[in-house]
Structure 1
Amino acid sequence: MRSQSFERLFSPLTIRGHVIRNRVLSSGHQTYLAEQNLPGPRMIAYHEARARGGAGLIITESARFHSSSTSDSLDLVIQNDDAIPHFSSLAEAVHRHGARIIGQLSHSGRVTRRMAQGMRGVVFAPSPVPDHRFHTLPREMPTDMVAEVIAAAAAGARRYAQAGYDGVELMASHGLLFAQFLNPHSNLRSDIYGGSFENRLRPLREALILVRQEIGPEHIVGLRISAAEDELSGLEEGDVINICKSLAAEGLIDYVNTTFGSMAALGASVHVVPPMEIEAAYLASKSHAIKAAIPVPVFLAGRINQPQVAEAVLAEGQADMCAMTRAMITDPDMANKARAGAADDIRACIGCNQACIGHFHAGNPISCIQNPVSGRETLFPVKPVKAPASKRVLVIGGGPAGMKAALTAAELGHDVTLAEAGPQLGGQALLAQLLPERAEFGGLITNLQTELARHEIRIQLNRQIDAAALTDIAPEAVILATGASPYLPPVEGADAADMIELPDLLKGTASPGNRVVIADWRCDWQGIGAAVKLRREGHHVRLAVDGICAGQNLQQYVRDYWAGKLHELEIEVIPYARLYGADTDSAYFLHTASNQPIILEAVDSLVLATGRSPRLELEPVLQAASLPFITIGDCATPRSAEEAIYEGLAEVAEFLGS
């Protein structure tokens, strides 16, 4: 990456008298860091890290402002004045580092299961129109309840203002409640809140009017809205432009924060947190169209993961501020590094979705596979504390676990040697980047290599470690990160079948026949990626998954994206299929729920995505040498890059820090 000045990205933006120091935005995103539904030490430390790292504006995640939208989830709630001191502590932490802060107000309407004590609650929406993601059929919100919700939004805004926030943002994005009122397909009402455009706009318009009355002229009032909802019954681009024009003409909004998609349908939900398979800044033309229609600043979100991408969007006049949320989850210091001319040192987000939105969907606090400190700021020191004494440390294995381990050991002040048996660093990530539309996963390797280069670490490639090598290097502590090898399950008739291990397919060292069956035990991107790769190369492909669906173990936006690709490519998916046997022209599976046979005929080649086995051959060698060591990553047990990198930080710091 060549050095850039990023003049537009680091120019100030003034909104209603508030000077925002640059155009770098951390947009509202659910963190699950709330404590008792309020900002606490973990959430404060998380946002403070981004403010310290140079962000211009931080919009904190959507807070529930009315009881009809609360659940057992770890969401923020801002329904009474007792919350004000907690939000004030967060605002003070952000302001302390020169950033501005705005708070979101949100009501999900029909796009929720509204779980409490394991049960679904009563869900209210403009009309009893079901969504197609949560499978909720809501109850129509009575007219007086609509007015109550509008008033509650204004009360929530007042609490933000009293807490010292610079402004508030109402959410009419992603098919949420205000968007449901705006949409004639989800708003079938016959009262003053339904029917005409003016009536459907009324709830949002009245809420904005009351918000301004409550917070006064000195605070910012923003609107988040999807530029289009990308759903059969969703708002279209022209509708959204008219909504923004109407509200801006009345002076009710100080900015528009654009996104895309809807949470009311599986396919449209991918735009909430678009993964690496989607082009960077792919929504810039959408924000540009809105910007051309209204006189207030327009923000843009959607895969803006590098400062040069944001600079290009700003240079083209497509937006006034760029949401770089995941970029700062991966590297909280991204803005400061770019401003200082050290863009090459930025740890770039690769859009994997695994530990950010993936954690959130699993009910866990968010983090990042590349940056385990993210979301855990209260657990790890801002800067590593040097160990009392420097040791000679040998790290064996140059995959993500070994690379992170070497970095951690060096930052603790140790003398580090990293030995990798192969010709290059990267481990399993080298294979992951070869799958269709997943080349960006290789950025994980690039980022780690960049960090390694900043330390005096001896890297020895093509170096096999045995007892003699241990004597030669003479380490005082060893970190074993030798990874894993493909696992070959017992397959009856295997000798007669053309069976291909997935790594050989990806590396091009195996040539499958025309009709291919993929045995996908992993139920992740490997089997799907192999299926798409082979289909695009002209093969007939069937994907037999040992789970309930293809991509069962993927973050749901990634899973749904690839489910669409599999359907478009006419790849047959056979669920509940456990590999049992194979012969010259058939593959045999057992249905995992019934134990009945699934016989796939006319098979030329069987591709195995059947997992990996840990490589443990060096453990007894280290034990015999009486060397202190730990085992991390896949050679502890095969998992993903997230666990490998986490252990390369946390377990190594514990092992070598004292």
Structure 2
Amino acid sequence: MSSGEFETLLSPFTIGGRTVRNRIMLTTHNPKMSEERYLKYLETRVAGGVGMVGIPVLHEAISTLAYVTPGQLDEISARDLDGTADPETDEGREFYDALLLPPLRARAEIAHRHGALCFGQVANRGSIRLPETFQAMVSPSGIPDPHVRSQPREMTTSEVERVVRLFARSASRIQRGGFDGVEVHATHGYLIEQFLSPSTNHRTDRYGGSLDNRMRFLTEVLEAIRQECGPDFPIGMRISGLQANPGGLTTDDIRAVVAAVESSLAYVNITAGTIGALHDGVVLPYVASSEYAPGFNADAAAAVRESVSVPVILTGRMNDPALMEDVLRRGVADLVGTTRALIADPEFVKKTAAGQADRIHKCIGINECHYPDRVSSCPVNPWAGRESELNVPAPTRRKRVLVVGGGPAGLMCARTAASRGHSVVLAEKKEVLGGKITLLSRDPHRREMASLIDDLAREVAEAGVEVRLGFEVTPESVAELAPDAVVAATGAVPAVPNVPGLEETRVYTALDILETDPAELGENVLVVGGLNDHLAPLAAADLLASRGKRVVLLSECILPGQAAEPSILHLLTKRLLEKRVRVEALTQLVKGGERPQVRNVFSGETSELGGFDSIVFATGAEPVDFPETGGEFYRIGDCLAPRRLVHATLDGARIGSRL
């Protein structure tokens, strides 16, 4: 695949009088890292060739005194900041400048050193409490966000005016920090969108009522920034072209908003969804997973582009250069924005330009990068956010390494070790590589996971790894191979608890049903999740219901799937309800058979369920044991402890780098 196929994508473009070297933007996001870690993460992606980058910025743009919107500096959000100065005073300006200008300048320097433009984003979460700040949250009308559920208070008119001024002050600091422009965040259920949307703005002053009035906060923010930063400092705006929140903004509303303010803008960045959509109808989470097709937001961006003359940036699962080139050539947008594609492969742009688009490691859309309470991680690219940690010095000698097991952990370890110059043998007792991912990717909602295994299998071969399929490792074969290091990546097998009565009915596991004739299970199926607090029990119930089964799902958790990433959990739960799956939380199976008995784990009360033709267990897994060998020995992935894909590939990368 030649770079000529991506002529438009790789061509320069002008935004706000500044030249962008190509049409790809790394969009603003918060990977929740320390500043040192974030700078290395940022540099890795900008060095990969993106033309433009959005950078989250710490700032004081909120009505409550001494409050800093948390960004990348973790130590800031940990402070109470009760003793700091009013940010509108000279003392406050000096305090925040001293605190925030150094990291801003460091971020801008990295972008410019690698040839990219950088826009600092100013945002205010309003009613959305992420994370806990021990401050009262605010909103236009005191309406709680339905997802985060913090009770805010309604802002007074003078407080609204104060926030406008603080937005401008924050933009000024971005300018003084050496950025090429500022991006105003007007989407995803944050404060500006809360003012724009009729579902969250019930005010009766000049900031509420008609769309013109609801836009007033946004227009005043833009005007204040322009006055503070001067006529030549570019202002962009990120806004949802497809909010999809019941009673909220329509795409036509968004077109009207953008058209009304475009004279103030250098570009408009069209995203999709909102945090509120995770609740009312669960229509469109603002971080779309593999539940949504790549490029799903193109129609909304095209509709906005028809209404404006400023450049339009399209975001929303833009994870393939061919897709990007297509939307640009069709005039859907002028540039494309992506985050997760560049988390998965920081060299996305370089590979595209080098005619190696088929070598891009694609995001598989399982949203491990988007947990609200921990650092972003990526199962496709374990190095994301760990660029320094996994940048281990070259080994002092070449080792012969035996990796036992060809699942994702073993493949990642073998590829990594071989790339570091070791002689690697990868032994897999089955005739195919991939471990349980080969089964999980048969689920239509997890199909994209297969691309990770395809890439790893190809790269293992290219790295010179000797792959032995259908080879079961024994003590004798270990002795014959005489490795310097052995890595056990033998995975885990589904666990079926020791429950009386199971011999009276057909029993399967969540993996079994992916390769079993649905007719064998009968019409009425009980899915048992036990203490499994992630997606497996829900996904099994969903698959069975999609095949026409009548399903009851038991979980011992307060909320089935409670540890899963919220947008996927909410969508999957909605689908179960639509398919009439009966979900029983806090419920333990205590006896099997055609009429199982269950117990409420809180109250201890027992009861009997109706008749079932089969029982499917998604209760967890048990490691496949591999005896420890003498010398250098490691266990990784589910063999070490049954967890998720992101843990398996990270284990593989860590040990592969350590060898």
TM-score (norm 1): 0.92
Q: Give 1:525 deviation, angstroms.
A: 2.5
* Alignment correspondent of 1:258: 270
Which of residues 392, 414, 432 is equivalent to 1:424?
Answer: 432
* Alignment correspondent of 1:615: 624
Residue 27 of structure 1 contacts residue 324 of structure 1 at CA under 8 Å; is this kept in 2? Answer: yes
Residue 5 of structure 1 contacts residue 339 of structure 1 at CA under 8 Å; is this kept in 2? Answer: no
- Superimposed CA distance per residue, residues 86-107 of structure 1 (whole angstroms, 9 cap, x where no aligned partner): 2011100111011110011011
Give the partner amino acid of 1:648.
Answer: G
Which of residues 462, 467, 470 is equivalent to 1:462?
Answer: 470
Q: Does 1:565 align with 2:560?
A: no
Give the partner amino acid of 1:279.
Answer: A
Q: Does 1:637 align with 2:641?
A: yes
CA distance in 1, matches of 2:539, 2:2: 32
Q: Give 1:228 deviation, angstroms.
A: 3.2
Moved more, 523-532 or 65-74: 65-74
Q: Give 1:644 deviation, angstroms.
A: 1.2
CA distance in 2, matches of 1:147, 1:514: 61
What SS is found at the alignment partner of 1:293?
A: coil
Q: Does 1:88 align with 2:120?
A: no
What SS is found at the alignment partner of 2:591?
A: strand
- Superimposed CA distance per residue, residues 305-336 of structure 1 (whole angstroms, 9 cap, x where no aligned partner): 11111111112211111112100011111111
Moved more, 494-503 or 148-157: 494-503
Residue 221 of structure 1 contacts residue 253 of structure 1 at CA under 8 Å; is this kept in 2? Answer: yes
After superposition, the Cα gap between the structure-2 partners of 1:574 and 1:73, relative to the gap in structure 1 and judged at 3 Å, is farther
Give the partner amino acid of 1:59.
Answer: G
Q: Does 1:225 align with 2:239?
A: yes
What SS is found at the alignment partner of 1:586?
A: coil
What SS is found at the alignment partner of 1:376?
A: coil
Q: Does 1:471 align with 2:488?
A: no
Q: Does 1:408 align with 2:421?
A: no
After superposition, the Cα gap between the structure-2 partners of 1:320 and 1:570, relative to the gap in structure 1 and judged at 3 Å, is same
Q: Give 1:265 deviation, angstroms.
A: 4.0
* Alignment correspondent of 1:37: none
CA distance in 2, matches of 1:430, 1:114: 37
Q: Does 1:188 align with 2:202?
A: yes
* Alignment correspondent of 2:41: 46
Residue 263 of structure 1 contacts residue 269 of structure 1 at CA under 8 Å; is this kept in 2? Answer: no
Q: Does 1:649 align with 2:653?
A: yes
CA distance in 2, matches of 1:271, 1:415: 45
Moved more, 594-603 or 340-349: 594-603
Moved more, 265-274 or 183-192: 265-274
Residue 271 of structure 1 contacts residue 302 of structure 1 at CA under 8 Å; is this kept in 2? Answer: no
Residue 490 of structure 1 contacts residue 580 of structure 1 at CA under 8 Å; is this kept in 2? Answer: no
- Superimposed CA distance per residue, residues 350-386 of structure 1 (whole angstroms, 9 cap, x where no aligned partner): 01102x102xx12x221212212111223232xx632
Which of residues 370, 376, 393 is equivalent to 1:357?
Answer: 370
Q: CA RMSD in A?
A: 2.0
Give the partner amino acid of 2:598.
Answer: F
What SS is found at the alignment partner of 2:38?
A: helix
Q: Give 1:486 deviation, angstroms.
A: 1.6
After superposition, the Cα gap between the structure-2 partners of 1:527 and 1:435, relative to the gap in structure 1 and judged at 3 Å, is farther
- Superimposed CA distance per residue, residues 40-94 of structure 1 (whole angstroms, 9 cap, x where no aligned partner): 3222111111110011111012544324474695556897212112201110011
- Superimposed CA distance per residue, residues 608-636 of structure 1 (whole angstroms, 9 cap, x where no aligned partner): 112111111x315x2xxx34211111111
CA distance in 1, matches of 2:402, 2:388: 29
Residue 71 of structure 1 contacts residue 114 of structure 1 at CA under 8 Å; is this kept in 2? Answer: no
CA distance in 2, matches of 1:46, 1:52: 10
* Alignment correspondent of 2:358: 344
Residue 111 of structure 1 contacts residue 264 of structure 1 at CA under 8 Å; is this kept in 2? Answer: no
* Alignment correspondent of 2:178: 164
* Alignment correspondent of 1:532: 542
CA distance in 2, matches of 1:208, 1:265: 26
- Taking the TM superposition and a 5 Å limit, the aligned residue runs for 1:504-519 are 504-508=512-516, 511-519=520-528
After superposition, the Cα gap between the structure-2 partners of 1:100 and 1:73, relative to the gap in structure 1 and judged at 3 Å, is closer
- Superimposed CA distance per residue, residues 590-614 of structure 1 (whole angstroms, 9 cap, x where no aligned partner): 2121222242111111111121111
Which of residues 182, 187, 204 is equivalent to 2:218?
Answer: 204
CA distance in 1, matches of 2:365, 2:466: 30
* Alignment correspondent of 1:32: 32
* Alignment correspondent of 2:507: 499
- Taking the TM superposition and a 5 Å limit, the aligned residue runs for 1:103-118 are 103-112=120-129, 115-116=132-133
* Alignment correspondent of 2:79: none
What SS is found at the alignment partner of 1:408?
A: helix
* Alignment correspondent of 1:575: 585
Residue 197 of structure 2 contacts residue 248 of structure 2 at CA under 8 Å; is this kept in 1? Answer: yes
Q: Give 1:349 deviation, angstroms.
A: 0.5
Residue 59 of structure 2 contacts residue 68 of structure 2 at CA under 8 Å; is this kept in 1? Answer: no
CA distance in 1, matches of 2:404, 2:183: 50
* Alignment correspondent of 2:150: 136
Moved more, 434-443 or 458-467: 434-443
CA distance in 2, matches of 1:411, 1:68: 53
Gaps of 5+ in 2: 77-86, 88-92
CA distance in 2, matches of 1:446, 1:476: 28
What SS is found at the alignment partner of 1:226?
A: strand
Give the partner amino acid of 1:216.
Answer: G
What SS is found at the alignment partner of 2:336?
A: strand
Identity fraction in percent:
34
CA distance in 2, matches of 1:105, 1:242: 22
CA distance in 1, matches of 2:446, 2:437: 10
Q: Give 1:247 deviation, angstroms.
A: 0.8
CA distance in 2, matches of 1:537, 1:423: 29
After superposition, the Cα gap between the structure-2 partners of 1:389 and 1:132, relative to the gap in structure 1 and judged at 3 Å, is same
CA distance in 2, matches of 1:318, 1:575: 45
CA distance in 2, matches of 1:528, 1:435: 12
Give the partner amino acid of 1:21.
Answer: R
* Alignment correspondent of 2:456: 448
Q: Give 1:199 deviation, angstroms.
A: 2.3
Residue 125 of structure 1 contacts residue 139 of structure 1 at CA under 8 Å; is this kept in 2? Answer: yes
After superposition, the Cα gap between the structure-2 partners of 1:405 and 1:598, relative to the gap in structure 1 and judged at 3 Å, is farther
Residue 28 of structure 1 contacts residue 62 of structure 1 at CA under 8 Å; is this kept in 2? Answer: no
Give the partner amino acid of 2:325.
Answer: E
Give the partner amino acid of 1:54.
Answer: G
Residue 30 of structure 1 contacts residue 62 of structure 1 at CA under 8 Å; is this kept in 2? Answer: no
Which of residues 484, 488, 498 is equivalent to 1:480?
Answer: 488
Give the partner amino acid of 1:483.
Answer: G
Q: Give 1:581 deviation, angstroms.
A: 1.3
Give the partner amino acid of 2:127.
Answer: R
Residue 272 of structure 2 contacts residue 284 of structure 2 at CA under 8 Å; is this kept in 1? Answer: no
Q: Does 1:311 align with 2:325?
A: yes
Give the partner amino acid of 2:526.
Answer: V
What SS is found at the alignment partner of 1:619?
A: coil
After superposition, the Cα gap between the structure-2 partners of 1:223 and 1:73, relative to the gap in structure 1 and judged at 3 Å, is closer
CA distance in 2, matches of 1:432, 1:14: 44
What SS is found at the alignment partner of 1:649?
A: helix
Moved more, 134-143 or 562-571: 134-143
CA distance in 2, matches of 1:3, 1:209: 41
Moved more, 134-143 or 417-426: 134-143
CA distance in 2, matches of 1:348, 1:498: 39
After superposition, the Cα gap between the structure-2 partners of 1:378 and 1:409, relative to the gap in structure 1 and judged at 3 Å, is closer
CA distance in 2, matches of 1:166, 1:265: 33
Q: Does 1:602 align with 2:616?
A: no
